[in-house]
Amino acid sequence: MTPLQVATMLPEAMHLQARGLGRRFESRVALGERIAAWFGAPLDRRAVQAVDGVNLELRRGEVLGLVGESGCGKSTLGRMLAGILPPSAGQVLLGGRAVMQSEGRHRKTTSKVQMVFQDPFASLDPRMRIGDTLAEGPLAHGLVSRADAPGYIAQWLEKVGLPADASRRYPHQFSGGQRQRIAIARALAMQPDTLICDEPVASLDVSIQAQILNLFLQLRQELGLTMVFISHHLGVVRHVCDRVAVMYLGRIVEIAPAEQLYARPRHPYTRALLDSVPRLQLDAEGLLADLHPIQGELPSPLAPPAGCHFHQRCPLAADGCRQQAPCLLALDDSRSVACHRSDIT
């Protein structure tokens, strides 16, 4: 029985929840603009709504994939779920308790949610030995004593397929795949029950990607981890995830079990996203790539369109789509879609 099947039998409803989660970034005002404002010029403060009213729920032991085009807000959402970035609106709950304290100075309240970043070299301190990097968090949180730290770190390095003596070396002495294993070990050393993985294999060679993905699946089975797997690689998401959430310009437009979503996407953007994946086919002229890119240009997040953000690129758009933003509504027990035309998709 998989961790997800076990989770559905447990009395607690949801493990990780995002409620009305939003994040707004305001542009910095340049010195020239400030000087001009002193002389009466209007001050133009532009803002980006990177994440807009996201609601998500994960059961314990579940792996949720988060997909969408670059710039849609996936990484921002992941950082808020991990308690690294404070939300502008809404909150994140882990087991019913807030992941981040919102009153006064924003502060993460739990170490049970950890994050694995896309670029392991950028996320590891090049001046620290691997053992010191991995021990820093557990020592600060009292998870291990300084005397027991070497053995504790060796245990997690071996768990991700690295020798114990790797703790004496520096990040530049490892390959990209080995550095990502170190980053995973660092997250696991905090004894989390939830991992937020932000494009964890995007910077790796294809052969190494398969090894890291298999490692994630193995760790999930052994440790019962709940995971949010952020990726633009739709094949990877289908391989590792139980459910998939599709994001477009800061909003979730569809959530469904992976097999259902890939077999029959219900939102026009999800269908366009899947159709845009290159496929090879053989015809009379030889082997050709069958390409169906999404039509139209991605709107600027500084000035998103009114109504449904996707209506300018959607072949099914009607007047209502241009005027009112659709809510994410359940079509059945397993699938939710934010589309005014979901009855004909």
pLDDT, tens digit, 9 for 90 and up, residues 56-85 = 999 999 999 999 998 899 999 999 999 999
The pLDDT of residue 298: 84
**In this prediction, what percent of the chain has a pLDDT beyond 90?**
67
Query: Which pLDDT band holds residue 182 (cuts at 50, 70, 90)?
Result: very high
What is the arithmetic mean of pLDDT over 181-200?
96
130 and 154 Cβ atoms separated by less than 8 Å:
no
Q: Residue 32: pLDDT band by 50, 70, 90 thresholds? A: confident
Instruction: Supply the pLDDT for residue 332.
Output: 86
Q: What is the pLDDT of residues 245-286, one digit of tens each?
A: 999 999 999 999 999 999 999 999 999 999 888 776 666 565
Is residue 117 helix, strand or coil? Answer: coil
pLDDT at 12 over 60: no
CB of 210 closer than 8 Å to CB of 240: no
Q: Report d(CA 191, CA 112) in Å as an integer.
A: 7
Per-residue confidence (pLDDT) for residue 7, from 0 to 100: 39
For the residues 142-152, what does the mean pLDDT come to? 96
| 8 Å CB contact between 3 and 61 | yes
Q: pLDDT at position 171, please?
A: 95
DSSP letter (8 states) at residue 142: T
Q: Is the pLDDT of residue 97 over 70?
A: yes
- The residues pairing with 336 across neighbouring beta strands, listed in sequence order, are 255, 330
In this predicted model, what pLDDT tens digit does every residue of 287-339 receive, in sequence order? 555 667 788 888 888 888 999 999 999 999 899 899 999 999 998 888 999 99
- For residue 174, pLDDT beyond 90: yes
Cβ neighbors of 71 (< 8 A, separation 6 or more) are: 298, 301
Q: Is the predicted pLDDT of residue 103 greater than 70, yes or no? A: no
The pLDDT of residue 41 is above 80: no
Cα Rg for the chain, rounded, in angstroms?
22
Percent of the chain at pLDDT above 70? 90
pLDDT beyond 90 at 155:
yes
Output 238-244 pairs: Cβ under 8 A, ≥24 positions apart.
238/65, 238/262, 239/213, 240/63, 240/65, 240/213, 240/216, 241/63, 241/64, 241/65, 242/4, 242/62, 242/63, 242/64, 243/62, 243/63, 243/64, 243/65, 244/64, 244/65, 244/66, 244/67
